[in-house]
Amino acid sequence: MEFVSIDVTDGVAVLRLDRPKMNAISLQVQADLREAAAELTERDDVRAVVVWGGERVFAAGNDVKEMAEVSYAEMVRIADSASSATTAIARIPKPVIAAVNGYALGGGCELALAADLRFAAEDAVFGQPEVLLGIIPGAGGTQRLARLVGTSTAKDLIFTGRFVKADEALRIGLVDRVVAAEQVLDEAVAYAAQFSGAAALAIRAAKECIDAGVGTDLDTGLAIERQQFAAIFATEDRTHGMSSFVENGPGKATFVGR
């Protein structure tokens, strides 16, 4: 991977974007994100993931210079690249937290939206300004943003292309926690660390139920939940967790991730 690195400590992987100066998301970055997501999905030593762009900027958008000369025919061929990269991050079957310093705009905002939770610096700025370039979000922005903040708010942000500061982002539900800029990564890692000894298959099942369920009707969502609920009874962690509860009370089980 050229512009993405992975550092794992005590079960928490920090997936770092590093493409100076502004972490513009190029086709190569998209490929790196897909490769990183595949690795993080398979690694048994990773129980949670923090996506971070560094102290200065999360990601200021897709690489406009790269896109400016792309024809319609070429975009038809490569349009899936950006969307599949954010979807790959979203489908990591483990908790994923975006730690956002600085700008998360366009494709950068879409990458943050692909996470399960978003921790933002007090000076972080979000936005989907694609209409100001005469285009629309193409890596999940019209879909994930609407599901997160509601259709009216998503339309306001996407139609106007305006920027959203951290306090407003928290108020509308775009982010989940706002902290001092120098604490963003540490807060996200500390949150992720609680899953290092958790029942990994139960968390995976819960994530799959929620993500699949919100895109369908209630009855179908409940059917997905019933299936996953029954399946989890085949795991060792279920046996350990219930035995520990009966013998020692809640919250004392040791899980093995199987």
Q: Which of 37, 19, 20, 16 is nearest to 28 (CA)?
A: 19
Q: What is the pLDDT of residues 64-112, one digit of tens each?
A: 888 888 888 888 888 888 899 999 999 999 999 999 999 999 999 999 9
Whether 238 and 126 map to the same domain: the answer is no
Q: How many structural domains comprise the chain?
A: 2
The residue written with tokens 């700008």 in the block is 103
- Identify whether residues 174 and 208 lie together within a single domain: no
121 and 243 fall within a common domain: no
Cβ neighbours of 73 (radius 10 Å): 7
Return d(Cα 175, Cα 58) in angstroms, integer. Answer: 14
Looking at 16-25, 125-134, 183-192, 237-246, which range is the least confident one?
Answer: 237-246
Q: 184 and 112 in one domain?
A: yes
pLDDT at 244: 87
- Is 130 labeled as catalytic in the residue annotation? yes
Task: Say whether 164 sits in a helix, a strand or coil.
Answer: strand
Mean pLDDT, residues 225-234 taken together: 94
Who wins on pLDDT, 69 or 4? 4
Same domain, yes or no: 37 and 147 = yes
Residue among 130, 187, 225, 236 flagged as catalytic: 130
**Are 214 and 116 members of one domain?**
no
Residue 125's nearest CA partner among 61, 169, 181 is: 169
96 CB neighbour count, 10 Å cutoff: 24
Q: Which of 42, 110, 122, 182 is catalytic?
A: 110
Domain identity same for 206 and 88? no
Spatial distance between the Cα atoms of 20 and 162, rounded to a whole number of angstroms = 24
169: containing domain? 4-193
What pLDDT sits at residue 42? 96
Distance (Å, rounded) from C-alpha 183 to C-alpha 121?
8
Q: What is the CATH number of the domain that holds 138?
A: 3.90.226.10
Please state the pTM of the whole predicted model: 0.93
Active-site annotation holds for 2: no
Nearest-10 crossing angle of helices 151-160, 141-149: 130
Please indicate, yes or no, whether residues 236 and 175 belong to a single structural domain of this protein.
Answer: no
pLDDT of 240 reads 85
First to last CA, the chain: 30
Beta-ladder partners of 178: 120
Q: In sequence order, what are the residues at sequence separation of 6 or more whose Cβ sits closer than 8 angstroms to the Cβ of residue 192?
A: 12, 47, 48, 49, 50, 95, 97
pLDDT score at 66? 83
Residues 71 and 187 both lie in one domain: yes
Q: Is the pLDDT of residue 251 over 90?
A: no
Tell me, what DSSP letter sits at residue 156? H
**Do 29 and 137 fall within a single domain?**
yes
Mean pLDDT, residues 219-239 taken together: 93
Examine residue 135 and state whether it is found in any structural domain, yes or no.
yes
